[in-house]
Amino acid sequence: MAPWTAALERLRETVSTGRAVPAEFRRTQLQGLERFLNENRQLLQEALAEDLHKSDFESDISELLLCRNEVAFALRNLNTWIKDEPVAKNLLLQLSSTFIRKEPYGLVLIMGPWNYPINLTLVPLVGALAAGNCVVLKPSEISRSVERVLAQLLPRYLDPSCFTVVLGGPQETGRLLEEKFDYIFFTGSPRVGRMVMSAAAKHLTPVTLELGGKNPCYVHDDCDPQTTANRVALFRFFNAGQTCVAPDYVLCSREMRERLLPALQRAITRFFGADPQVSPDLGRIVSDRHFQRLQGLLRCGQVAIGGQSDPRDRYIAPTVLVDVQETEPVMQEEIFGPILPIVTVGGMGEAVEFIRRREKPLALYAFSRDSQVIHKVLDRTSSGSFTSNDGFVFLSQMTLPFGGIGNSGMGRYHGKFSFDTFSHFRSCVLSSHHLEQLNQVRYPPVGPWSRKLITWAVEFPNCTIQ
Ligand code: NAD
């Protein structure tokens, strides 16, 4: 028997009785989650520091605050979100009541990665609980300290009949995925995303896949180099570059590259001092295996800034590479570390071509003073999100959906989008048993007059009441 069998049975029982569906039950769970975040703030910060050397500020702004916001937003809007949503009717259904009911899927599996191990497990959890689901949470085994806190403490704040944490690495998770879930929400790599989707296909379970990839950052010639360098460096080196939406590489002209390099050096020194290894604000690589991979990437192209590393504390200096080839690993795989290659292109047209030749990214950045340039890049490309002259600030805005496209994922969440993701939109038509006289017109044999009337009653747009 698998270690999760009893817990899953308990959760399935709750799903079948509908115990997690009433608004009050959902509200209690969300309040429990809120208390967990408030009462364990320091413990969570310490766990993040142990796993990733995150500073308190980074932990707060990119993990805890975002979770607290999501809970508060869900609590404030829950009553509105869960209401049946009336829809416009055609003439055929004028005497019926037509609406969308937001039903919980039932048993939901949430699988998280290690890079923002609180944010990327608890933000989806808010949506799943708000929508009235029962949840199996599978945090990453790589961010061990956070995994421990989530496994030991979070269940104390939530009802055990609707929530459980399952632990394990690839092998255990592979077995867990053989179970039948009603929805799977996965955040991680495209490689594992494919495995999750094929496991889900066996049960026809719907999925959201929040994946990664390489996020381009185009810098136009008209930019102020220092302003651009400050912003690119901030978001590239945040969490030691281990961010799915970080700018992965810069595309710019050779002239702009020459102006950006000293500006990037100034930004790095300003943020992390002359020796970034002693800076409290620079994270560390999560594991030896990830460190080894990144060390390999440092051998691509030429090191223009940084390049130092120290395996003892898995430190990699904020690094800028130049003269990299498109065929080198640093331009083939998602970097996911504090390394920024600069690839030179002839101009905006060539940059757009470069981006379009590759998989659709999770995030795309463009820097220019000229709004026409920004709009051209926006119009001619596709990505999960698009930001001009800044980094991943869109994550702070719960009214914007977060999600990828193509190789960077499918589905979206945050704020109301999370609630919708974890809800089945059930089409409801409540008609009366009476009025049989009116219905006679629909029954065969349908004569020419009836046919005309019925067609007219359902044809758009003349008979749709808005
Ligand atoms: P990962 O795909 O290795 O792991 C994610 C989850 O899958 C973990 O819980 C892990 O235990 C599980 N897992 C790993 N191998 C498995 C296997 N063989 N079978 C079943 N389950 C398995 O991802 P990661 O290394 O934790 O995170 C880094 C990746 O996640 C990057 O590609 C990054 O871009 C992506 N990411 C995406 C987002 C987003 O929101 N789109 C956010 C963060 C990270």
Task: Give me the CATH number covering residue 224.
Answer: 3.40.309.10
The DSSP code sequence of 297-346 is HTTSSEEEE---EEGGGTEE--EEEES--TTSHHHHS---SSEEEEEE-S
Sign of the Cα pseudo-torsion (154, 158, 160, 166, in order): negative
The minimum-distance atom of ligand 1 relative to the CA of 210 is 41
Q: Are residues 153 and 283 in the same domain?
A: no
Residue 407 lies in a domain: no
Residues of the chain with confidence (pLDDT) below 70: 462-466
Of 183, 211, 72, 188, the C-alpha closest to 422 is 183
**Nearest residue CA, atom 43 of ligand 1?**
244
Residue 105 lies in a domain: yes
Q: Are residues 168 and 297 in the same domain?
A: no
Q: Are residues 204 and 341 in the same domain?
A: no
Residue 350 lies in a domain: yes
Sign of the Cα pseudo-torsion (146, 151, 157, 158, in order): positive
Helical H segments across 116-247, by residue range: 119-130, 144-152, 154-157, 170-176, 190-202, 225-237
Q: Are residues 261 and 345 in the same domain?
A: yes
Residue 368 lies in a domain: yes
pLDDT value at position 208? 98
Catalytic residue check, 244 = yes
pLDDT value at position 306? 98
Strand partners of residue 404: none
List, for residues 80-101, the tens digit of each pLDDT value. 999 999 999 988 898 999 999 9
pLDDT value at position 466? 54
> How far is it, in rounded angstroms, from Cα 44 to Cα 56?
10
Q: Are residues 377 and 443 in the same domain?
A: no
Q: What is the pTM of this model?
A: 0.97
Residue 9 lies in a domain: yes
* CA of 375 relative to ligand 1 center, distance in Å: 33
Catalytic residue check, 463 = no
pLDDT value at position 379? 98
pLDDT value at position 405? 98
Residue 94 lies in a domain: no
187 lines ligand 1 (CB under 6 A): yes
Q: Are residues 185 and 291 in the same domain?
A: no
173 lines ligand 1 (CB under 6 A): yes
Domains of the chain: total: 3
Q: Are residues 201 and 300 in the same domain?
A: no
pLDDT value at position 460? 83
Residue 95 lies in a domain: no
Q: Are residues 204 and 220 in the same domain?
A: no
pLDDT value at position 464? 65
Q: Are residues 188 and 293 in the same domain?
A: no
In the structure, how many helices (H) and strands (E) does the chain have?
A: 19, 20
Residue 296 lies in a domain: yes
**Domain hosting residue 85, numbered range:** 5-89+100-211+412-424
* Among 67, 244, 252, 300, the one annotated catalytic: 244
Q: Are residues 291 and 434 in the same domain?
A: no
Q: What are phi and psi of 449, to 5 degrees?
A: -70, -45
Which of 401, 436, 456 is the endpoint of a domain? Answer: 401
Residue 145 belongs to domain with CATH number = 3.40.605.10
List, for residues 24-50, the tens digit of each pLDDT value. 999 999 999 999 999 999 999 999 999
Q: Are residues 334 and 365 in the same domain?
A: yes
> How far is it, in rounded angstroms, from Cα 137 to Cα 167?
8
Q: Are residues 374 and 419 in the same domain?
A: no
